[in-house]
Amino acid sequence: VVLLHSILAKIYYLCPSMTHQTHTFSNGLRLVCVPHSSQVVYCGYYIKAGTRDELSHEEGLAHFCEHMSFKGTAKRSARNIINSLEQYGGDLNAFTTKETTVYHAAILSKHVYKAVEVLTDMVFNSVYPQKEIAKEVEVICDEIESYNDSPSELIYDYFEQELFGSAALGHNILGKAENVRQFTTADAQRFTQRMYQPSNMVFFVYGDIDFKRLVQQLDKLTSAFPEATPYLQKDALLPTDISKTTGVEGTQKVIKRNTHQCHVMIGAKSFSVYNKQRVVLYLLNNILGGPGMNARFSIALREKRGLVYSVDSSMVCYSDVGVWSVYFGCDPHDLKKCINLVKKEMQRLCDTMLTPKQIASAKQQLKGQIAVSCDSRESFALDFSKAYLYFNEMKSIDDLFAEIDAITPQEIMNVSREIFDPNRLFTLILE
């Protein structure tokens, strides 16, 4: 079981231009299948249930339930679950985010229906045995401590905690050890009964599979659930949806961690997954701190001055808000210089419009990166299923490229001025 903490921008598009099949069951479960001739099939449940769905006393419970779903169902022991797909050379995994939990598998196509049955059993029939909890709690606590030992990862959680304050979106995905040690079978059952409803999830498949047979299998496996309407969010389509301030905007905070380096994050709230301006920010983010070594932050801090090993900017899009941020680690005596250089690059985009040549080059680079990233079939499967979970539709790579091509230099400048407003930027330093 793994926890994925992605700092990559996700735009929620189906990458290749290809046909797909969908079906909605009477209980609200949505099925999306993208055919592929490979003998390996990727499939799983994408559930709109994550950290932000926890109550105030439940911090860490979504991730806890993800772990415990591997520890036994009404008909399978933890050992049976482990062996169920591994005996065929398959892989069974899961991860938790602020808004979702995902259970997924990779397996040879001739065994895919076994994977569908095992995944469904785990999601809907887990019993969360107390005797297994006693063992798994310490595994989760070790994961928490391991994460606490990595300030370059931990700072992302600290940053969102500061941005979102007491709201559940500010919860740490892993939770706190003292909380996790108190969770019981009843806690896990309460959360999953509340959130693990067919109408709140998508089952996805990428590979060679008999779609009609899959529909029949899932219909039978989930028939115990009553008719329901899928949970679809339709009210977050405003031109701008940057949420209200929480008091940290325009400020700087220092947290003492006795680290060798200073770890720094600068950023602000940004656009939700439903806001079309997120695509403009996607391009802007890639110009400043994308994976290319020619990104402006990298040129300014590393290539020209050798002040940092790496500097990356990222964006995360939630249902009703987003976060844009830039992270770097540096020697303490270079701290002020690095912060000033980062802010100088931001200000350049606020003050100076990109030339036609600059924006054309930026678009070409981003589209190439997207095309290359689509070559990872597992990542592709997870991306298109998330798109379907949020939008209930599929878009092709051509649609995304058309949106990128339509971005103007003026839009880049407008978004820069909105996100990089000094009165909105928050700076967090671990030292």
Model confidence band, residue 388 (pLDDT cutoffs 50, 70, 90): very high
CA dihedral 204, 313, 174, 155 (to 10 degrees): 180
Query: What is the pLDDT averaged over residues 294-303?
Result: 97
What number is the average pLDDT over the span 333-362? 98
Can you tell me the mean pLDDT for 378-398?
90
Cα–Cα distances in angstroms (integers) from residue 320 to residues 161, 168, 169, 238, in the given order: 16, 13, 10, 10
For 148-187, the pLDDT digits (tens) are 889 999 999 999 999 999 899 999 999 999 999 999 999 9
Q: How far apart are CA 43 and CA 101, in angstroms?
A: 14
Over range 51-74, report the average pLDDT: 96
More confident residue, 236 or 285: 285
pLDDT over 70 (residue 5): no
pLDDT, residue 18, reads: 56
pLDDT-derived band at 371 (thresholds 50, 70, 90) equals: confident
pLDDT, one tens digit per residue, over 305-342 is 999 999 999 999 999 999 999 999 999 999 999 999 99
Q: What's the whole-number mean pLDDT along residues 232-245?
A: 51
Would the pLDDT of 239 be above 80? no
Distances (CA, A) of 8 to 51, 263, 274, 376: 19, 19, 17, 14
Among the residue ranges 172-176, 230-234, 323-327, 381-385, the one predicted with the least confidence is 230-234
Spatial separation of the C-alpha atoms in residues 225 and 204, rounded to whole Å? 19
Q: Find the helix or strand (DSSP H, E) in which 279 lies.
A: helix 277-289
* The two structure tokens encoding residue 374: 């689509």
**∠ at Cα 253 (252, 256), nearest 5°?**
150
Q: Name the amino acid, one letter, at 200.
A: N
pLDDT score of 247: 76
Q: Please state the rounded mean pLDDT for residues 186-207.
A: 97
3-class state of residue 406 by DSSP: coil
User: DSSP class of residue 13?
Assistant: -
Examine the pLDDT at 92 and tell me if it is beyond 70. Answer: yes
Q: How many residues can be counted in the chain?
A: 431
Nearest to 78 by CA among 113, 128, 114: 128
pLDDT bin (cut points 50, 70, 90) of residue 63 is very high
Give me the pLDDT at residue 232, please: 82
pLDDT band (50, 70, 90) for residue 372: confident
Short-list 222, 194, 156, CA closest to 50 = 194
Among 2-6, 279-283, 380-384, the range scoring the smallest mean pLDDT is: 2-6
Q: In a 3-state reduction of DSSP, which class is residue 250?
A: coil
Residues 141 and 181: beta-carbon distance below 8 Å: yes
Q: What is the pLDDT of residue 45?
A: 98
Which strands form 426-430's sheet, in the order they lie side by side? 252-255, 426-430, 262-270, 322-330, 308-317
* DSSP string covering 153-206: HHHHHHHHHHHHTTSGGGS-SS--HHHHTT--HHHHHHHHHHH--GGGEEEEEE
Cβ neighbours for 186, distance < 8 A, ≥ 6 positions apart: none
Q: Is the dihedral of CA 244, 158, 285, 297 positive or negative?
A: positive
Give the pLDDT confidence score for residue 2 in this predicted structure: 35
Average pLDDT on 375-387 reads: 91
pLDDT at 231: 87
Residue 408: pLDDT band by 50, 70, 90 thresholds?
very high
β-strand partners of 35: 207
Question: Can you give the pTM of this predicted structure?
Answer: 0.92
Average pLDDT, the chain: 91
Burial of 66 (0-12, 13-18, 19+ CB in 10 A): buried
Beta carbons within 8 Å of 87's beta carbon, 6+ residues apart: none
Q: Is the pLDDT of residue 240 over 70?
A: no
The Cα–Cα gap between 360 and 201 comes to 39
Query: Is the pLDDT reported for residue 1 higher than 60?
Result: no
Mean pLDDT of 36-60: 95
> pLDDT tens digits for 135-152?
999 999 999 999 888 999
Residue 238 scores a pLDDT above 50: no
Locate 73 and state its tokens: 């169902």
Percentage of the chain surpassing pLDDT 90?
84
> According to the model, what pLDDT value does residue 245 have?
54
